[in-house]
Amino acid sequence: MRLANWRSKEIFKRIENRAYDNANAVMDTVVQEAKTKLSSYGRLTNIYRPPGWSKAHVSFTPRSGRNKDKLVSFNTDKRWTGRDPGTLSSTIRRVNKDSDVGGTIRVYAGNFKIYYARYVEHGTASTGYGGPAPAKPFMRPSFQKIKKTIVKRIKDGGVL
């Protein structure tokens, strides 16, 4: 039996694109769930600090290069101290990364100025203001909630 006009590359590309779109929809639900989870913590979303840069003293020992194994120290004003209510929540986003294997979909929280997303998610050993800050995970529970249904949701159109 011979199939006439069989365009396998085109058909498989359509299937791949549909699966990718469905996977994007699944990760969009993770983003929405993480934002909801974060806003449920209340106090975190109501913190306000006036915007500005603070000075920081940086010390480290490079493992390679001109200053290898020498202590390097300098002062910088690269630390952003401003914080508005809801800024962490507004930085939660889905990002598509292209690669040789068809690309990956990732969900990120934070950016250059909103650097404290990992401290909220994992907690800290010490805040410097009276003790450790407890972990308030918002990304991991959002993903764990849908983890068992991801393959089914990608096949069925991203919703369940």
Q: What is the pLDDT along the chain (160 residues), one digit of tens a residue?
A: 566 777 788 888 888 888 888 888 888 999 999 988 887 776 554 566 676 777 777 788 888 888 889 998 888 766 666 666 677 888 899 888 765 556 678 888 988 777 788 888 888 877 566 668 788 899 999 999 888 888 888 888 755 5
In a domain, 110, yes or no: yes
| One domain, residues 35 and 74 | no
| One domain, residues 92 and 76 | no
Domain limits for position 123: 17-48+83-156
DSSP string spanning 30-66?
HHHHHHHHHHTT-GGGG--B---EEEEEEEE--SSST
In contact, 69 and 61? CB cutoff 8 Å: yes
Provide the pLDDT for residue 47.
61
Provide the pLDDT for residue 15.
83
In a domain, 24, yes or no: yes
In a domain, 7, yes or no: no
Number of domains present in the structure of the chain: 2
In a domain, 69, yes or no: yes
In a domain, 1, yes or no: no
